[in-house]
Chain A
Amino acid sequence: QKEVEQNSGPLSVPEGAIASLNCTYSDRGSQSFFWYRQYSGKSPELIMFIYSNGDKEDGRFTAQLNKASQYVSLLIRDSQPSDSATYLCAVRGPGGNTPLVFGKGTRLSVIA
């Protein structure tokens, strides 16, 4: 049974600070890792994905992957109130276009 674990939060950070969101997964065969953002009442939208160990940066977002520790994180620099949402970590096994297994999400609140 593949599991993806996230702290449910809420995680509160002041505007302009770095928000750090974490995720662990159980299946060592997992190959690709995704972060989605979901605003209340809306659908999940992809922020970024990462396949290789290390860091991947996209604008204010940095995804970090450590396969040995089965750990994925998302850093949001210069956090804005508009970043307040639930962040979902998702994991996929080998092969393209197989289903994603989602964590239950971490709720982030950025305080102005």
Chain B
Amino acid sequence: DARVTQTPRHKVTEMGQEVTMRCQPILGHNTVFWYRQTMMQGLELLAYFRNRAPLDDSGMPKDRFSAEMPDATLATLKIQPSEPRDSAVYFCASGSSGNTIYFGEGSWLTVV
């Protein structure tokens, strides 16, 4: 059963700490998206990659967020330093040449 895998599923951290979230896209999918979901803003695109190349990261606060795709099976999203306003659910999604994208189960982040 092909699925997008995200770790960690839940993370509670103190303000100022570094947070790294990881995503394994569905095998064969060449496009990876990072979305953030909050009650107020809904699902917002943070960044996305195609064939490991970053295409758009305009949704990310550049001073504290970074996204990379070191290989085809791993995408990472880092927050350093983390702030309470970063508390949200971070979803990774992947897709291929077809039109559909599939979401991982999300990383639930709480920054205290």
Contacts and interface: CB of A to CB of B under 8 A. Distances in A.
Contacts of B98: 96-97
Given A44-B43, A88-B43, A105-B42, A99 B102 contact: no
A49 B100 contact: yes
Interface string A19-40: 0000000000000101000000
B103 A44 contact: yes
Contact of A99 (B48, B96, B105): B48
Nearest to B3: A43
A100 B99 CA distance: 10
A105 B91 CA distance: 16
A97 B99 contact: yes
B21 to A, nearest CB: 14
4 tightest A-B contacts by CB?
A104-B42, A102-B43, A43-B103, A97-B31
6 contacts: A32-B99, A43-B105, A46-B100, A96-B99, A97-B30, A97-B98
